Structure 1
Amino acid sequence: MSYKDFTLEKVRKQLGLAIESNQDLFTEVSQPLPLAQEFTNHLNYSVPLALSINTEKARSEMVIAPMLVQLKRLLNDQISLFSGVEFSVDPAQDLVGFCDFIISLSRQQLYISAPALIIFEAKNENIKGSLGQCLAAMVAARIFNEREGQPLPQIYGAVTTGNQWKFLRLSDQTA
């Protein structure tokens, strides 16, 4: 089994997570970061194109990856960004497999280093069906950070189609 085999029910039973929905994860955001006009122009062109192609690959390459690169730029390269990398953390708990995107609070870009902050999963049309996969990878990120001596109180994740986003937060045993 791997991350992609996890459902919400498997996450709840196998990993012991309590699942809460309809939480506002952005109450503390006071002001959005300004986007460069060049980037806004890119999205205005690329989003409709990716949605008309209607594949996970198109959405990932044309919308999600550019957004995450822009985030890295806005944060002055204080984070590292990984795409399509293996993140096998705990085979005994089936926390193995590949993640579409991982953000780490590290400047180095050679390998994933702790602390891993955010897991992104790019999905074609099934956000709800992919939440378990993302949550399992978030549990793996928490274990990874703890093993590396850099635990975090919260891990974040997102499942996205490129135009719809579902953001997740893992705190203790509650998602």
Structure 2
Amino acid sequence: MSYSQFTLETVEQAFGLSIIEKLGIFATVPEVSISDFLKQCLEYNTPLALEIATEKARSEMIITPILIELKQQFQSKISLFSGREFNVDSQQGLMGYCDFIISKSPSQLLIKSPVAVIVEAKNDNIQSGLGQCIAEMVAAQILNRRQDNNNETVYGCVTTGTNWKFMRLIDTVVEIEPNEYFLNNVGKIMGILRSFVE
């Protein structure tokens, strides 16, 4: 089994999780300014990515520039991984590739704890990525504990590039924000991502 095989139902059963919707978890997080470079990049890239209409195009042309901007805002004191293998526990099926991982460690050589955010890209269906993202968050939580890190909360996100759905894992409870955030308010998306790292 690998991350991509988990659904909401199977991930809840496999790890004894309580998955709940909780309205307004991130509503009070303030927007942050983004660079002119990111604005220009998204203005040009977004229509192109939507015309190409593949998960890869959305990932490379919309999501990656936003996450690179996040890394720049933290002056590269965080690490960003894209398409890296994240094998934490093969017996539990916590293995495979993650679209994006953000760690509070500046090291780009190894994925080190605390892993703060998991971002899963989906072409058109956010719901289909929730189980996979939660499994990756459980793996991040295990890694954090293994490395004696007290960072108990792991954040996750499933995005199409234009729509972003955020969640958090605290102990065995997954709280999913029912509302989605949209690319036309990228400052809010960036604010939420920043709050996860801070």
Identify whether the pair has TM-score above 0.5, normalized to the shorter chain.
Answer: yes
> Structure 1: how far apart are the matches of 2:150 and 2:18?
20
Aligned to 1:39: 38
> Structure 2: how far apart are the matches of 1:48 and 1:21?
32
Structure 2 counterpart of 1:60, one-letter code: S
Question: 1:26 aligned to 2:33?
Answer: no
Q: CA deviation at 1:57?
A: 0.5
| Percent identical residues | 51
Aligned to 1:81: 80
Q: Is the 8 A contact 1:25 1:169 kept in 2?
A: no
Q: Is the 8 A contact 1:86 1:99 kept in 2?
A: yes
Instruction: Provide the TM-score with structure 2 as the length reference.
Output: 0.85
Q: CA deviation at 1:151?
A: 3.1
What SS does structure 2 have at the residue aligned with 1:109? coil
Q: Is the 8 A contact 1:43 1:63 kept in 2?
A: yes
> Structure 2: how far apart are the matches of 1:81 and 1:64?
12
What pairs up with 1:73-112 in 2 under 5 angstroms?
73-112=72-111
What SS does structure 2 have at the residue aligned with 1:131? helix
Aligned to 2:181: none
Q: CA deviation at 1:56?
A: 0.6
Structure 2 counterpart of 1:63, one-letter code: I
Gaps of at least 5 residues in structure 2 are 175-198
Superposed CA RMSD in Å reads 1.1
Residues 45-73 of structure 1: CA distance to partner in whole angstroms, max 9, x if unpaired? Answer: 11111011100110010000110000000
> Structure 2: how far apart are the matches of 1:82 and 1:170?
20
Gaps of at least 5 residues in structure 1 are none
> Structure 1: how far apart are the matches of 2:161 and 2:123?
8
What SS does structure 2 have at the residue aligned with 1:69? helix
Aligned to 1:2: 2
What SS does structure 2 have at the residue aligned with 1:110? coil
What SS does structure 1 have at the residue aligned with 2:168? strand
Structure 1 counterpart of 2:2, one-letter code: S
Question: 1:67 aligned to 2:66?
Answer: yes
Structure 1 counterpart of 2:15, one-letter code: L
Higher mean alpha-carbon deviation, 117-126 vs 15-24, is at 15-24
Aligned to 2:124: 125
